[in-house]
Chains A and B, each alone.
Chain A
Amino acid sequence: MSAPVNHSALTLKVLAECSVTKARACQLSLPHSVVDTPVFMPVGTQGSLKGITPEQLENSGCQIMLGNTYHLGSNPGAELFDKVGGLHKFMGWKRNLLTDSGGFQMVSLVALSEVTEEGVRFSNPYDAKDMLLTPEKSIEIQNSIGADIIMQLDDVVSSTISGPRVEEAMGRSIRWLDRCIEAHKKTKTQNLFAIIQGGLDSRLRTICLNEMSKRNVPGFAIGGLSGGEDKNDFWKMVTLSTDFLPKHKPRYLMGVGFPVDLVVCSALGCDMFDCVYPTRTARFGTALIPTGKLDLKKKGCAEDFRPIDENCSCSTCRQFTRAYLHTIVTKETVASILLTIHNIQYQVFFCRLTVIDTCGFYLFLGTRGGNINIIIII
């Protein structure tokens, strides 16, 4: 392996650690701004967060958000990003961005995709042309988009699959990681994260962890989970990974975003999370609250003159009642925007409140986490 490179594009400072669980509060310094972890990252697929302006997003406390390489690579395309100088400039977002590799969307959204050692071959839905996404191509597009954190192209298989395909995908992901590292041109401004694969198999996960942590990447993601597998298997793979991964580098658990999962996985030592859930559910008229969910379409909200959450300081809760939101939810675009603002602020602060000092987190699990009965195997 090559000699360790000084990755000045990221520093992680552990501020506090829970004495009971593996939870930790950190300060993650990225090129555009500092991020307090554990952090929830909302997903702005196509270079915008569903009606929210960058200013509103900043005000809701968000420090880092996601963009999807598959979508952005198609519209407006890498060439446009080269012209304008990256997605930050294009959308006017001053804080941090993270892009995925494009691989997951390819496999989940596009029919006729075929994975070979070369890359992922698919038929572009926009012009029906045959295209090949290689590790090199993915990094090239991500370099153009210019996010602070970029992801390796990995060979993703569903967590419900077992058999030799899982091992094949894990092995290939390691080889693709090396190709991504090789292809990455902007190490001073963009951090390339590795993605641990291996399905629900401890042996395979361990091999992957072993191999990938030998590569000197600034951070690691735990991938291939959150796809409908049994929760008991899910926790096991998460905790196995965090046991192994270096403490001084951030751990990003991909696709995890329900509040319960955020609490538990923070306890298991994860620092970063992303999920479409809060923004998607907002558009369907559901707000996130400490006791779970509030469906604003329900008749019960029609004469409820309280805000969504009396303890929430977001602009939606400061101005509007559930009764008002009930009159416009799913009918006026402003309703979607108001609920999205609330859900993002709620989720971001929920995550931040998992702060931790020696006993704080453990207590947190008991009170704000609601009724959770879980046994954590550490």
Chain B
Amino acid sequence: MKFSLRSVSQRGGRLATISELGRHGDKTVTTPMCLVFTQAGTIPHLTNDMVQKLGKHAYPVHLPLPLLLESHEILQKYSNGIGDFLALKHHLLYLSVQDSTIRPPEGFNEKSFVSLWGRSGRLNVDVDKFMSVQEAFKPDWYQALCDSDAGKVGSRKRAHKSVERTLAYLDRCLEKHKESEVLRHSCIFGSIEGGSVAEERELSAKETAKRPVAGFVLEGLDTNGPLDSVLPLCENGKKEIIQSILNELPDEKPRILHGPLDPANILAAVELGIDIFDSTYAFLVTERNAALTFCVSPDTESMASNVGKLQDSCNLQRNLYETSLTDKIFKDDFRPLVVGCQCYTCTNHTRAYVHHLVNVGELLGKTLLMLHNLYHFLRFFEVIQLALEEGTFEKLQNMIATRHCN
């Protein structure tokens, strides 16, 4: 793959093009971008024909390893790789170590292995097993095995361990990667660890940057789910940690930050210099029967602004990026979820119908919400790129802050 930085704005936000992607090296994406999150190999609630309706921005797919680990032997026998197995072979496939919608319990990683939680419980994965999985799966991109457990906040010892172990895993992975014929066209990403300890973070970043990796994943920043546990990046000195990490990383390689970050957090991270995110936020909002309704462009009329007046009268606590479809006021509202939205759900169905479906527990409700939420979220990234191109990024941040933040 080829990463070309097109511009870096004054405040740090980067625009880039990643080309020569995929099996045939013929695909291109632009960043900042969003990976489409999957669960056990499926985009939640969406069959592939529905995913097609999201357009080209649904190209990069995020496969967290934990729920796929049990398919290791099957994939070895199958031999055509996981893209083929999941009928996603025309997509860019990125395999991450952990699932960013949950926070794995602390204290289960050891020197020679990392714990992953699959369907039937804890699985211990060492480098040999890990690389065997990569060879069976044949992803386009994969995150090298890493220890993201930094222990209690401020604990230097455990933070140091996470850095040391992760570098050791990375070196072993790189060795095996080099020897592997099968992984010749795959790209390996290194992870930056170190918890909340500044010196450990710097060490991790400096050392990882020395290795021949294709890009970096910033781990252990407490950005994992569930939704309400992700704090704003400007709290607890996180912004400063991210800044210190990025200072040590080369400009010409992409940086990934996982986790269900809300729009304000995404913008803050973009401003610092992060290029790639995942769609776990859109997924988790769907799981609570809500639609993303924050303003993504001046053309679309946010549903939240429509019902703004009703919010007080309904006396409901409401997050202003999303609107819950369980609300009875939508029972006979025959407008689309977001007026002006061009997604399949908004062009074919109404708030009333989606409300009915979630009200009676019909699966189609989740399908229609997931489709809209992904479309809306991917559109947000389009808008971010546009804002960076036009120099209106600050304006975008202000709009999101004033219209949607408490």
The chain A residues found within 8 Å of chain B, CB to CB, are 46-56, 71, 75-76, 80, 83-84, 90-92, 302-303, 305, 315, 319-321, 323-324, 327-328, 331-338, 341
Contacts and interface: CB of A to CB of B under 8 A. Distances in A.
Contacts of A335: 42
**Those 4 A-B pairs whose CB atoms lie nearest each other, nearest first:** A51-B363, A319-B87, A334-B42, A48-B364
A337 B74 contact: no
A53 B359 CA distance: 17
B363 A337 contact: yes
24 contacts: A46-B360, A48-B363, A49-B364, A50-B364, A80-B331, A80-B332, A84-B332, A90-B352, A92-B348, A92-B353, A315-B47, A319-B48, A323-B78, A324-B85, A324-B86, A324-B87, A327-B41, A328-B40, A332-B39, A332-B42, A333-B363, A333-B366, A333-B367, A336-B363
A324 B359 CA distance: 32
B119 A331 contact: yes
A93 B77 CA distance: 43
Nearest to A315: B49
Nearest to A55: B348
B71 A327 contact: yes
Nearest to A85: B334
B352 to A, nearest CB: 7
A91 B47 contact: no
A75 B332 CA distance: 12
Interface in B341-398: 344, 348-350, 352-353, 356-357, 359-360, 362-368
A315 B51 CA distance: 14
B46 interface: yes
Contact of A327 (B40, B46, B49, B332): B40
Most-contacted residue by chain A among B334, B344, B364 (CB, 10 A): B364
Given A50-B362, A76-B356, A320-B87, A328 B45 contact: no
A29 to B, nearest CB: 26
B120 to A, nearest CB: 11
B366 to A, nearest CB: 7
B363 A83 contact: no
Contact of B41 (A52, A83, A328): A328
Given A92-B349, A327-B71, A71 B360 contact: yes
Nearest to A327: B71
Interface string B44-75: 11111110000000000000000000110010
A46 B353 CA distance: 11
Contacts of A50: 362-364
Contacts of A341: 47
A303 B72 CA distance: 12
Interface of B: 39-50, 70-71, 74, 77-78, 85-87, 119, 331-332, 334, 344, 348-350, 352-353, 356-357, 359-360, 362-368
Given A56-B49, A84-B352, A327-B71, A75 B44 contact: no
A54 B368 CA distance: 12
Contacts of A48: 357, 362-365
B367 A337 contact: yes
Contacts of A333: 44-45, 363, 366-367
A331 B40 contact: yes
A319 B50 CA distance: 14
Contacts of B50: 53
A337 B367 CA distance: 10
A341 B78 CA distance: 25
Most-contacted residue by chain A among B41, B77, B344, B363 (CB, 10 A): B363
A57 B174 CA distance: 48
Contacts of B365: 48
Contacts of B77: 303
Given A92-B349, A333-B45, A334-B44, 15 more contacts: A47-B356, A47-B362, A51-B366, A53-B367, A71-B360, A75-B359, A76-B352, A84-B332, A90-B356, A321-B78, A331-B40, A332-B39, A333-B367, A334-B47, A337-B367
B367 A75 contact: no
Given A48-B357, A76-B331, A76-B352, A303 B364 contact: no
Contacts of A90: 350, 352-353, 356
A323 B74 contact: yes
Given A53-B50, A332-B39, A80 B364 contact: no
A76 to B, nearest CB: 5
A327 B74 contact: yes
Contacts of A83: 332
B366 A332 contact: no
Contacts of A334: 42-47
A81 to B, nearest CB: 10
Contacts of B334: 84
Given A319-B87, A328-B41, A91 B360 contact: no
Contacts of A47: 353, 356-357, 362
A341 B367 CA distance: 14
A334 B363 CA distance: 10
B164 to A, nearest CB: 35
B45 A53 contact: no
B190 to A, nearest CB: 29
A133 B387 CA distance: 59
Contacts of B48: 315, 319
Contacts of A315: 47-49
Nearest to A324: B85
B352 A51 contact: no
A324 B119 CA distance: 16
Given A76-B352, A80-B331, A52 B364 contact: yes
Contacts of A324: 41, 85-87
